[in-house]
Chains A and B, each alone.
Chain A
Amino acid sequence: MRRRDLLSAAAAITVSGRVWAAPQADTRLLVVFLRGAYDAANVVIPVSSDFYYQSRPTLAVPRPAAEAANTALALDSDWALHPSLKDTIYPLWQRKQIVFVPFAGTDDVTRSHFETQDTIELGQGIQGSRDYRSGFMGRLASVLSKPTPIAFTAQLPLTFQGGATIPNVAINAVGKPGVDDRQAKLIQSMYKGHRLAASVAEGFEVRDDVYRSISEEMVAASRGAVSPKGYELSARRIGRLMREQFNLGFVDVGGWDTHVNQGGATGYLADRLAELGRGVAGFVDEIGPDAWHDTVVVVISEFGRTFRENGNRGTDHGHGSVYWVLGGGVKGGRVVGEQVRVEQANLFQNRDYPVLTDYRVLLGGLLQRLYGLDAAQLEKVFPKTQAKDLAII
Chain B
Amino acid sequence: MVSPKLVSVGLLLLVSVRASASTPDAHKAAPAREITDIDLLNRVTWGANESSLTKLRAMGARKWLDWQLHPTAADRLPPAVQAQIDAMTISKQPMVDLVADMAARNKVANQITDVDAKKAAQQANQQAMNDLARQGAAREILRDLYSPAQLREQMTWFWFNHFNVHQYKADIRTMVADYEDRAIRPNALGRFRDLLGATVRDPAMLRYLDNAANAAGHINENYAREIMELHTMGVGSNYTQQDVQELARCLTGLGIDPNPDNPKLTLAMQAQLVRDGLFEFNPARHDHGDKVFLGHTIKGAGMPEINEVLDILAREPATARHVSREIATFFVSDNPPPALVDRMTQTFQRTDGDIAAVLSTLFRSPEFAASTGEKFKDPVHYVLSAVRLAYDDKPILNTAPIQGWLNRMAEGIYNHDTPDGYSMNSTAWNGPGQLAVRFEIARQIGSGSAGLFKPAEPNAVDHPAFPRLMNALYFSGLRRNLGPATAAALDQAVSPQDWNILFLCSPEFMY
Contacts and interface: CB of A to CB of B under 8 A. Distances in A.
Contact of A257 (B418, B498, B505): B418
B434 A155 contact: yes
A108 to B, nearest CB: 10
Interface stretch (A201-209, A277-285, A333-341): A201-209
Interface in A158-199: 158, 161, 165-170, 173, 175, 177-179, 183-184, 186-187, 189-194, 196, 199
A326 to B, nearest CB: 26
The 6 A-B pairs at the shortest CB distance, nearest first, are namely: A311-B218, A156-B431, A203-B436, A203-B432, A154-B410, A168-B433
A349 interface: yes
A115 B432 CA distance: 25
Interface stretch (A18-26, A90-98, A216-224, A312-320): A312-320
B411 to A, nearest CB: 9
Nearest to A205: B432
A114 B235 contact: yes
B433 A203 contact: yes
A203 B440 CA distance: 11
Interface of A: 35-36, 109-115, 132-133, 151, 153-156, 158, 161, 165-170, 173, 175, 177-179, 183-184, 186-187, 189-194, 196, 199-200, 202-207, 254-255, 257, 259-260, 310-312, 314, 316-317, 349
B235 A112 contact: yes
Interface in B94-143: none
A192 B439 contact: no
B485 A156 contact: no
Contact of B427 (A35, A115, A156, A310): A156
Contact of A316 (B220, B408, B485): B220
Contact of A311 (B215, B235, B236, B489): B215
B505 A190 contact: yes
Contacts of A207: 433, 436
Given A189-B485, A311-B218, A156 B492 contact: no
Nearest to B223: A259
22 contacts: A35-B418, A151-B433, A154-B433, A154-B434, A156-B432, A168-B431, A175-B440, A177-B440, A179-B440, A179-B505, A183-B501, A183-B502, A184-B439, A186-B492, A189-B488, A189-B489, A196-B435, A203-B432, A203-B433, A204-B436, A259-B210, A312-B220
Most buried by B among A158, A177, A194: A194
A206 B433 contact: yes
A310 B218 contact: yes
Contacts of B437: 154, 170
Nearest to A156: B431
B425 A170 contact: no
Given A179-B501, A190-B489, A254-B418, A259 B220 contact: yes
A314 B431 contact: no
A110 B236 CA distance: 8
Interface of B is mostly: helix
B225 interface: yes
Nearest to A198: B432
Contacts of A254: 417-418
B296 to A, nearest CB: 22
B213 interface: yes
Interface string B204-242: 000000100111011111100100011000011000010
A319 to B, nearest CB: 10
A44 B65 CA distance: 58
B510 to A, nearest CB: 8
A199 B433 CA distance: 8
Contacts of A109: 241
A252 to B, nearest CB: 11
B139 to A, nearest CB: 25
Contacts of B433: 151, 153-156, 167-170, 203, 206-207
B contact residues, range: 35 or more
Contacts, number: 167
B436 A206 contact: yes
Contacts of A196: 430, 435, 507, 510
A4 to B, nearest CB: 18
A103 to B, nearest CB: 20
Nearest to B501: A183
Nearest to B221: A316
B417 A255 contact: yes
B443 interface: yes
Contacts of B214: 311-312
Contact of B217 (A35, A133, A311, A317): A311
Contacts of B436: 169, 177, 203-204, 206-207
A158 B425 CA distance: 11
B444 interface: yes
Contacts of A110: 229, 235-236
A155 B235 CA distance: 23
A202 B432 contact: yes
A179 B507 CA distance: 16
Contacts of B486: 190
A170 to B, nearest CB: 6
Nearest to A165: B432
A364 to B, nearest CB: 25
Contact of B439 (A161, A179, A202, A312): A179
Contact of B408 (A158, A173, A189, A260): A173
Interface string B487-503: 01100100000100110
Contacts of B444: 178
B148 to A, nearest CB: 33
Most buried by A among B213, B429, B492, B502: B213
A312 B218 contact: yes
B408 A114 contact: no
A268 to B, nearest CB: 12
Contact of A178 (B229, B427, B440): B440
B506 interface: yes
Given A113-B420, A154-B434, A311-B218, A187 B235 contact: no
Contacts of B270: none
A178 B434 contact: no
A155 B502 CA distance: 23
B432 A206 contact: yes
